[in-house]
Chains A and B, each alone.
Chain A
């Protein structure tokens, strides 16, 4: 069974850093495109970043230069390093798996809440 479990969220002050993790089971993270999607409280879905199976990475303009997506094949885990956090980064962060080579998101984790506040 394909499963994604996020962790690492919490309360952080503006300007701080946080690293989110997404542990995968039932498939190999490095063989798939993997994305992070976030949802601010009461708002819609916002795509954040993707890492392709060949290692290429892309980011939303809102996080470019501040966030870094990566993966660890030995742990079958996806990461999102978030630096210079701002209040408008407050959201539930979901990791999601893509079917091979497609932009569809066919499996989502349960999400982890990041709150940026002083």
Chain B
């Protein structure tokens, strides 16, 4: 089973700043890495699939990069609605589907 490790656990930033979130896989997942956003009290929402492709309706300030074992989610300029928890997930070696433990992006 592939283990995904996200860092940092919590990221404190201000609106307008750039956010960089990391996800590292215990073995290569090629480019098959997915990102989700979860706001308090809501279900997760698909954000980025296959490392760098934005899902339908996702603003251009969200971008993903990486391949193999190291991946990054970047939010270029934080909006108030972007403060949430972000999860990565690999889709190459499944089942089981495995998620990272999440990064909480909070307002500084």
- Nearest-CB residue, chain B, relative to A46: B99
Q: How far is the CA of A39 from the CA of B87 in the complex (A)?
A: 12
**B96, A60: Cβ atoms under 8 Å?**
yes
B44 part of interface (Cβ distance < 8 Å): yes
Set B42, B49, B99, B102: member contacting A104, Cβ < 8 A: B49
Q: How many residues of A contact B (CB 8 A)?
A: 21
B43 part of interface (Cβ distance < 8 Å): yes
Q: Contacts of A46 on B, CB cut-off 8 Å?
A: 99
Main secondary structure of the interface of B (DSSP, over half): loop
Given A44-B87, A45-B99, A47-B99, does the pair A103, B46 have CB atoms closer than 8 Å?
Answer: no
Given A94-B43, A104-B91, A111-B43, does the pair A58, B96 have CB atoms closer than 8 Å?
Answer: yes
Q: How far is the CA of A107 from the CA of B46 in the complex (A)?
A: 7
Q: Contacts of A102 on B, CB cut-off 8 Å?
A: 91
Known: A44-B99, A110-B43. 8 other contacts (CB 8 A): A37-B44, A45-B36, A45-B38, A45-B87, A103-B89, A104-B49, A105-B34, A108-B43
Chain B contact residues, CB within 8 Å of chain A: 32, 34, 36, 38, 42-46, 49, 55, 87, 89-92, 94-102
Chain A contact residues, CB within 8 Å of chain B: 35, 37, 44-47, 50, 58, 60-61, 94, 102-111
